[in-house]
Amino acid sequence: MINYLEGVGKPYKYKRNEKGFCIDIEYLEKLITNKTKVLVFNNHSNPMAVQSSDEELQKISKLCVKHNLLVLSDEAYFHIVYDGKSKSIVSQEGMRDRTVVLFSYSKTFSMTGWRLGAAVGPEWIIDGINKINVNDEGCTTNFIQVILFLLKNII
């Protein structure tokens, strides 16, 4: 999608620390130019099971605010942690209006192949996502629509 939109993807790196791995913040900042618009942030990532510490979330948040970056926060594994409690980057100061949280029911509820997820964020960004989705995807699969309809009537 990045290439399709004529963007340039620049992967950040992890480095070892006393608890396993952390994002190399210095390297990440060197990747940012005046053309950088979005950080795709993979917290609770697979396959390394890396979860950002509070300190790392604060550093990344400050970096995003400093460079006026939007954030796509991939939180597909948010509810699958074995130690501690998950935290989203959207909870950090200055991040609520610049972050879209991407969530996958497939991982959390073992619904592999159902291709059902959600994006939560500022209205102006979600409106743009909706315009793309209308043309990119016809709709969710039939059985998902039925389940969502039934859940809506139950809840």
CATH number at residue 70: 3.40.640.10
Residue 102 has pLDDT above 80, yes or no: yes
Which has the minimum average pLDDT: 24-38, 69-83, 105-119?
105-119
Secondary structure of the chain in HEC code, one letter for each residue: CCCCCCCCCCCCCEEEECCEEEECHHHHHHHCCCCCCEEEEECCCCCCCCCCCHHHHHHHHHHHHHCCCEEEEECCCCCCCCCCCCCCHHHCCCCHHHEEEEEEHHHHCCCCCCCCEEEECCHHHHHHHHHHHHHHCCCCCHHHHHHHHHHHHHC
Position 128 in a domain: yes
Position 7 in a domain: no
Nearest to 43 by CA among 8, 88, 92: 88
pLDDT band at 135 (very low <50, low <70, confident <90, very high): low
pLDDT band at 79 (very low <50, low <70, confident <90, very high): confident
- Residue 147 confidence (pLDDT): 80
Position 19 in a domain: yes
> Considering its fold, how many domains does the chain have in total?
1
Position 54 in a domain: yes
Phi and psi of 53, rounded to 5°?
A: -75, 170
Q: What angle do CA 150, 138, 149 make, to 5 degrees?
A: 5
Mean local confidence (pLDDT), 57-73: 97
Position 9 in a domain: no
Position 6 in a domain: no
Give Cα 88 distance to the centre of its chain: 9
Q: Is the distance from CB of 101 to CB of 119 less than 8 angstroms?
A: yes
Position 8 in a domain: no
Which has the minimum average pLDDT: 9-18, 81-90, 95-104, 136-145?
136-145
- Residue 117 confidence (pLDDT): 82
Position 84 in a domain: yes
Tell me the per-residue pLDDT of 17-43, one tens digit each, with 9 for 90 and over.
Answer: 887 888 999 999 999 999 999 999 988
Domain that holds residue 18: 14-154
Residue 154 has pLDDT above 90, yes or no: no
